[in-house]
Amino acid sequence: MSSLYERIGGEAAVDAAVDVFYRKVLMDDRVNGFFDDVDMDKQIAKQKGFLTMAFGGPNNYTGKDMREGHKHLVARGLNDSHVDAIVELLGETLKELGVADADIQEVANIANGARDDVLNR
Amino acid sequence: MAQLKFRDKTYEVGDGATVLDVLLEHGQEVPNSCRAGVCQSCLMQVVEGEVPEQAQKGLKDSYRAKGLFLACSCQPQADLAVSLPDAAQLRVSAEVTGIRPLSEDVMELVLQTDAPFEYQAGQFVTLWRDERLGRSYSIASLPDDDNGLMFHIRKVARGEFSSWVHEDMKPGDRLSVQGPAGDCFYIPGQPDQDILLIGTGTGLAPLLGIVHDALRHGHRGRLQLIHGAQHPSGLYGHETLTALARDHDNLIYHPCVLNAEDEMDAGIRQDTVEGLVKALVPKPAGWKAYLCGDPDLVNKLRKQLFLAGCNMKDINADAFIPSTPADRIG
């Protein structure tokens, strides 16, 4: 049986999803405040890392990285509602790209699994 | 904490500090300019150890292979020994063969290099007056143009290099050329793609190269070229481009200024560049874009085009980052 990452389409799917996803994030007033001052090249690279992880692909993220990487955002008010919004935008992105509902749910579960580390709880 | 070795001395590298920070802090002289990983003025060479990937970003393969890296973008994670590369292997000397004003504050400079110099239209180089003073400029000429390397040099208030060019330079003067660098150039293979080229001030220089290169390759898609300036006098390519656009149906030239004047040419619009882009290409999905000039505007346009549907990989940006003023160093 193929893995989630293979079913979604691997690296090519990450490349296809990153523009759509990042555009949604920048246009969404619930979360775009956290992304305003960030260099767009660096941001795209980070988004690719995030999508690869959420799609169940190869990644080297540790809980500690997640905590360190989001600490300054938690200090600026990052909370559950923002994580909810990101998971929602991720779902919309995958739906547009034609990913099956069951796989979208699995991606959401992986993303939600990082919630406590991201929010430094 | 990582240790940094340079000229028989060893320094501690503080958290988040770059090789350039550490060396300047200890009074070592390292050429540098933008401090943003763009201009390549602060090239150094690895003697022992390894540098993080970020420190070699944008360097050509032959530079990477020699262990060259950018001191301003290198935060060493482990012990490292470095040296300044031999300038002769990076630079080629050149002679000034032409210099003439294009507008009140833009000078055209033409150089003949002593050895053949390979580049792509739209790339940039660093010009060095001497060991200490180097500045990056976009190339405005085409590679197979036998007349030499051409640059548009804008006069910057209290700018050391541009003052030299504008006030003292004469044919026969010598300087050296390092590079080329940058990925703002025409890539053949999609002759029907529409292309948006946006430049402010001397951001026009690389765009001219790209436009000529595209036309030479027989590009069939639209080439929408926007040149923005404060005043009509800043539109230094106006006559050339108006004529070029007359000869090529797919080249459309849009001069625009923030401050209109009564007697300006009827073809010039008073508008912001952002506004004009929105009006001309409301839906840039599928377009390729080249953005050159003022860094704030370049970043703003990049986001604007991306949000309006342009693919990130189709947006090529060359922000003209000013050199760090001497009074802000150390």
> Which site among A18, A23, A46, A51 would you substitute to test the B interface, given the most B Cβ atoms closer than 10 Å to its Cβ?
A23
pLDDT at B330: 34
* Contact assignment for B312 to A27 by CB distance below 8 Å: no
Q: Is residue B311 less than 8 Å (CB to CB) from chain A?
A: yes
CA atoms within 13 A on the CB side of B74: 29
* Contact assignment for A26 to B303 by CB distance below 8 Å: yes
Mean predicted confidence (pLDDT) in A106-110: 95
Q: Is residue A31 less than 8 Å (CB to CB) from chain B?
A: no
Q: Is residue B299 less than 8 Å (CB to CB) from chain A?
A: yes
Q: Evaluate whether the domain defined by B195-319 bears CATH number 3.40.50.80.
A: yes
Domain range B90-182, CATH class:
mainly beta
Long-range contacts of B132-136 (CB under 8 A, 24+ apart): B132/B29, B132/B31, B133/B160, B133/B161, B133/B164, B134/B31, B134/B33, B134/B41, B134/B161, B134/B178, B135/B33, B135/B39, B135/B159, B135/B161, B135/B162, B135/B323, B136/B33, B136/B34, B136/B38, B136/B39, B136/B40, B136/B41
Domain boundary assignment for chain B = 3-85, 90-182, 195-319
Q: Is residue A38 less than 8 Å (CB to CB) from chain B?
A: no
Residue B40 has which token pair? Answer: 């390549």
CATH number, position A110: 1.10.490.10
Lowest mean pLDDT among B13-27, B134-148, B168-182: B134-148
* Contact assignment for A40 to B307 by CB distance below 8 Å: no
pLDDT at B328: 39
- Strand boundaries in chain A, DSSP class E: none
Count interface pairs A-B at CB distance under 8 A.
19
Residue B167 has pLDDT above 50, yes or no: yes
Q: Enumerate the residues of chain B whose CB falls inside 8 A of the CB of residue A26.
A: 303, 306-307
Residue-averaged pLDDT of chain B: 90
ipTM over 0.85: no
First-residue to last-residue Cα distance in chain A: 35
pLDDT for B264-282, tens place per residue?
888 899 999 999 999 999 9
Contact (CB, 8 A) for A36 and A93 = no
Q: Are strands B124-128 and B134-138 parallel, antiparallel or unpaired?
A: antiparallel
Mean predicted confidence (pLDDT) in B32-48: 86
**B299 or B325: which leads in pLDDT:** B299
Contact (CB, 8 A) for B121 and B210 = yes
B195 DSSP β-pair partners: B223, B288
**B31 or A93: which leads in pLDDT:** A93
Compute φ and ψ for B202, nearest 5 degrees.
-80, 5
pLDDT for B100-116, tens place per residue?
999 989 999 999 999 88
Lowest mean pLDDT among A35-49, B92-106, B133-147, B303-317: A35-49
Q: Is residue B303 less than 8 Å (CB to CB) from chain A?
A: yes
Mean predicted confidence (pLDDT) in B281-297: 94
CA atoms within 13 A on the CB side of B129: 11
Residue-range definition of the domain harbouring residue A80 = 4-118
Q: Is residue B184 less than 8 Å (CB to CB) from chain A?
A: no
* Contact assignment for B306 to A44 by CB distance below 8 Å: no
CATH of domain B3-85: 3.10.20.30
Please tell me which residue of chain A has the smallest CA distance to B316.
Answer: A41
pLDDT at B329: 36
**A1: confidence class by pLDDT, cuts 50, 70, 90:** low
**B326: confidence class by pLDDT, cuts 50, 70, 90:** very low
Residue B182 has pLDDT above 90, yes or no: no
Collect all residues with Cβ–Cβ distance below 8 Å to A48 and sequence separation of at least 6.
Answer: A14, A15, A18
Which segments of chain B does DSSP mark as H helices, in order? Answer: 19-25, 61-65, 87-90, 160-163, 204-216, 238-247, 273-280, 295-307
**B181: confidence class by pLDDT, cuts 50, 70, 90:** confident
How many angstroms away from the CA of B307 is the closest CA of chain A? Answer: 6
Please tell me which residue of chain B has the smallest CA distance to A45.
Answer: B312
Mean predicted confidence (pLDDT) in B222-251: 95
Residue B160 has which token pair? Answer: 């050391």
Q: Enumerate the residues of chain B whose CB falls inside 8 A of the CB of residue A44.
A: 312
Residue B83 has pLDDT above 50, yes or no: yes
pLDDT at B324: 58
pLDDT for A35-57, tens place per residue?
877 778 778 878 888 999 999 99
